[in-house]
Structure 1
Amino acid sequence: MRIGVLTQWYDPEPGPAALPGVLARGLLARGHEVRVLTGFPNYPSGELAEGWRMSRRRRRVEDGVDVTRVALYPSHDGRAWRRMTNYGSFGASALVNGASSFRGLDAMWVNYSPITVAAPMLAARHVLGVPAVCHVADLWPDTLTAGGFAPRPSPLVRTVEATLEAWCGAMYAASEVVTYIAPGVGDELARRGVPRHKLAYAPMWAEESTFFPADDALRREGETWRASLGVDPDDVVLLYAGAIGHAQGLETLVEAAARYAASPSAGAPRLRVVVVGSGVAEADLRARAEKAGLVPDAVSFPGRVPQDRMPVLMAGADACFVGLAATPLSRITMPSKTQASLAAAKALVVAADGDVQDVARESGAGWAVDSGDVAALTGVLAAVCQSGRGGLADRGRRGRAYYEEHFGLDRALDRAEAHLETARAGRATRTTRTTRRITRRTTATPMTSTSTAHTRRTR
């Protein structure tokens, strides 16, 4: 097939922003022609990535994939107007400068977040006739409230939400298939009026070139990294790596770590929490940890690290933390670090509601408590330390097996191909129906005219 991938986020942007690139290269490796429409890399720093220069439009082959990049306003800070300008500028630029690159495609995979991709998607769908698979990861406009952009209702906020809801509805209506990454998302989309026959489960995958079980050489590098933080060989390292924002619920982790440090399990290895990354809540989180006396012995903040160092960090960690603040949206959110941790064969500590809890428990990889439940998380930290590094490694191996069965890239590509083929077949069906209607009309019209003329001559 000739496949398009429409996404604001793409390589070399790290973390979840790298996953569309994994999909594109995977489809290319399976023999498909793949074209990507995306922006210039600026996530997560909000600044143009080193070595890149902005231009109105740039089209190049990257790792075998035909990639068209269009200009945008780079930003990823906590100010709502700047973040929305980032999203809106990509949508407008992709519409004006990039949508034509999808001409002649059989189907397109649309990374639905942010919702401003509606503009180029609808142009490609209705003007160029490219059928779409709409991949829903973050629900909009709910994401705005969960991210702290619109914490207080107001007439302006309600107007913006109504507009975004209309865009969402237009995208769902224009799609042949609407895929979702967690069971709860599918149920919510159905409640919002998306027909069940359009909905299909398509969980996220991991960037398997970065997140994988460590070999002996990588484990040695991981031990060296641990030592650089002052971690003893027997200490248990609980790693959080990602954006440090309000939505991640990291305040719960710091408070639970403080409670556990005040009364640790007798005879158990020492707990070391390592928070890697940066974001709008970083300063506040550091201040909390310092005030509790956790820094540097119990909690470390190494800052942001390059993506190519992530395999070393994962090799040095014994378990990974996945958290979400308690919001209506958190029950149906599946953070991408869930799959990344499982793929790297790491035990899971989850402080979040809903679907991600089910994964932690069903996989046998770890423990799960509700969002914000400091007391329960403190108990989990005790259990983590009592398990020791060997017990945590066993949980990690179970998690890796679960990942391969449910989330692995090969399975994800199978699903994507099937959904894209459904979209292409849907267009073929519509084309056939349209042709039949046109044929009936064109054959009916002359017959009516001839009959009328004959009647007039008879009279």
Structure 2
Amino acid sequence: MRIGLLTQWFDPEPGPAALPGMLARALADRGHEVRVLTGFPNYPTGRLAPGYRLARRLDETDGPLRVRRVALYPSHDRSAPRRVANYGSFAVSALLSGTPALRGLDALWVGNSPISVALPMWFTRYVHRVPVLLHVLDLWPDSVLASGFLGTGRVSRTIERGMAAWCGAMYRSAARVAHVSPGAADLLADRGVPREKLVHIPVWADETLGARTADLRAELGLRTDQVVLVYAGALGEAQGLDSLIDACARTGDPRLVCLIAGSGTTEERLRRRAGAVGATNVRFLGQLPRDRMPALMATGDAHYVSLRPGGMSAYTMPSKVQATLAAGRALLVAAEGDAAAVARDSGAGITARPGDPDSIADALREVCDLGREKLELLGQAGRGHYDRVFSVAAGADRVERTLHEMVADGRVRASRRPR
């Protein structure tokens, strides 16, 4: 098949921005012709990646891939106007300078975030008549509301309703709508997406984090008998990490060490809370460079995933779930809904009630009682589950199968048209 990928984020951008590139290569390895329409790389710094200069468009050959990059306003800070300029400039540039590269495709995969990508998507769908698989990587407007970008008030509610209507139009135009967590299916169906359009395609992880590497135990002065719990990620309200701090203070096992790496709006409050409640087994590492993340992943005997209950938590799948499974490490999940289900189904996880320090403390004691060797076995079970359910290969299988179904459906509809 001739397959297109439309995504604002692509290599050499790291982290979640690297996931479309992994899919593109997996599809190309299966013998498909793959074309990519994307922007100039600037994530996560907001500055163009080394070796790039902004231009109206740039065509690249990346191994078997044909990549067209189009101009955008580079930015990735918390300024709402600059973020809108970043998203909007890519959408307009992709529409004007990028869509010719998508002519003649059999099918198009679209990463839905940001939703401004609808402009080139709709052109390709209705003018080039290419069926679209819309992959809902982020739920809009939910994710924007959770981030606090919209604020509150009448104007914010108007913008929210506009986003919801925009997303509804995107869903209607797509031949299939893929969701990344099971719970999102009911939510999308409630928003008017026909059940027959919905397909579950979980998102994969950066599988290089699973490569065995030297850990940080010696550097951090950790003994071989100490059991290490790692939380790595944003320190914000949505994560509800206050209860983890309280739980660590209530866990009397001297083997437990909790490492917290990352930054965010609650960092200083969490540091003060650790001191106030006597959580001496908690260490804050700050924001680590990306190249140290594999070593941090290897350091943790178990990795902590937490979401404050309510809101989007029941159908949110934090990317660190897949990353931890891919790395072959055990999970401790204090969340409700889909994330907790993965912890149980994978055999890699222990669960606790989110926001409940006593329940989390009980889970921490269980982690310590299991010890490092048994936690390693849980991690191995998790890696097997990742390979079956979340891997790039499994994701490419689902995407490929869905695209074939879309093309076949289109041929059936065309054969039924009166001549």
Normalized against structure 1, the TM-score is what? Answer: 0.85
Amino acid corresponding to residue 126 of structure 2 in structure 1: H
Give, in whole Å, the separation in 2 of the partners of 1:250 and 1:8: 31
Q: Take 2:307 and 2:49, find their aligned partners in 1: how far apart are those partners?
A: 28
Question: Counterparts of 1:298-337 in structure 2 under 5 Å?
Answer: 298-306=282-290, 308-337=291-320
| Aligned counterpart for 1:368 among listed residues 332, 345, 351 | 351
User: Aligned partners of 2:383 and 2:244: how far apart in 1?
Assistant: 24
| Matched residue, 1:19 | 19
CA contact (8 A) 1:78 1:280 kept: no
Give the corresponding residue for 1:111: 111
- Following superposition of structure 1 onto structure 2, how do residues 119-158 of structure 1 map, counting pairs within 5 Å? 119-152=119-152, 154-158=153-157
Of 216, 219, 226, 1:235 maps to 226
CA-to-aligned-CA distance 1:173-202 (integer Å, 9 cap, x gap): 111111111111011111111111111111
1:185 aligns with 2:184: yes
Moved more, 364-373 or 129-138: 364-373
Q: Which among 246, 249, 268 is matched to residue 240 of structure 2?
A: 249
Whole-angstrom distance in 2 between the partners of 1:322 and 1:231: 22
- Identity in percent: 50
Matches within 5 A, 1:29-428: 29-152=29-152, 154-212=153-211, 214=212, 218=213, 221-222=214-215, 225-257=216-248, 259-260=249-250, 263-265=251-253, 268-269=254-255, 271-279=256-264, 281-286=266-271, 288-289=273-274, 298-306=282-290, 308-428=291-411
In structure 2, the CA distance between the partners of 1:372 and 1:48, relative to structure 1 (3 Å rule), is farther
Which deviates more from structure 2 when the two are superposed, residues 297-306 or residues 316-325?
A: 297-306
Matched to 1:191, the amino acid is D
Structure whose CA Rg is larger: 1
Distance 1:74 1:301, change over 3 A: farther
Structure 1 residue 283, shift from structure 2 partner: 5.0
1:425 to partner: Cα distance: 2.1
Q: Tell which deviates more after alignment, 199-208 or 362-371.
A: 362-371
C-alpha distance in structure 2 between counterparts of 1:312 and 1:102, whole Å: 40
CA contact (8 A) 2:95 2:119 kept: yes
What's 1:2 paired with? Answer: 2
Structure 2 unaligned runs (5+)?
none
Q: Any conservation in 2 of the 1:24–1:34 contact (CA below 8 Å)?
A: yes
Mapped to 2, the partners of 1:13 and 1:283 lie a distance apart of 29
Secondary structure of the structure 1 residue equivalent to 2:229: strand
SS for the counterpart of 1:321 is: strand
Secondary structure in 2 matching 1:205: coil
Question: What are structure 1's unaligned runs of at least 5 residues?
Answer: 440-459
Q: Residue type of the partner of 1:303?
A: Q
Query: Closer, same or farther in 2 for the Cα pair 1:383/1:192, shift >3 Å?
Result: same
Report deviation, 1:54: 2.8
Deviation at 1:63, TM superposition (A): 4.0
Shift of 1:15: 2.2
CA contact (8 A) 1:13 1:43 kept: yes
| 1:240/1:276 contact within 8 Å kept | yes
Local SS of the residue matching 1:35: strand
The CA distance in 2 between the partners of 1:133 and 1:385, in whole Å, is: 45
1:289 CA drift (Å): 4.4
Q: Within 1, Cα distance between the matches of 2:245 and 2:58?
A: 44
**What's the secondary structure of 1:228's corresponding residue?**
coil
Report the AA paired with residue 239 of structure 1: V
Q: TM-score, length-normalised on structure 2?
A: 0.92
Distance across 2 between alignment mates of 1:247 and 1:163: 24
- Report the alpha carbon displacement of residue 44 of structure 1 after superposing the two structures with TM: 2.8
CA contact (8 A) 1:248 1:324 kept: yes
Q: 1:45 to 1:423 in 2, by over 3 A?
A: same
Which residue of the partner structure matches residue 451 of structure 1?
Answer: none
Cα distance in 1, alignment partners of residues 347 and 315 from structure 2: 20
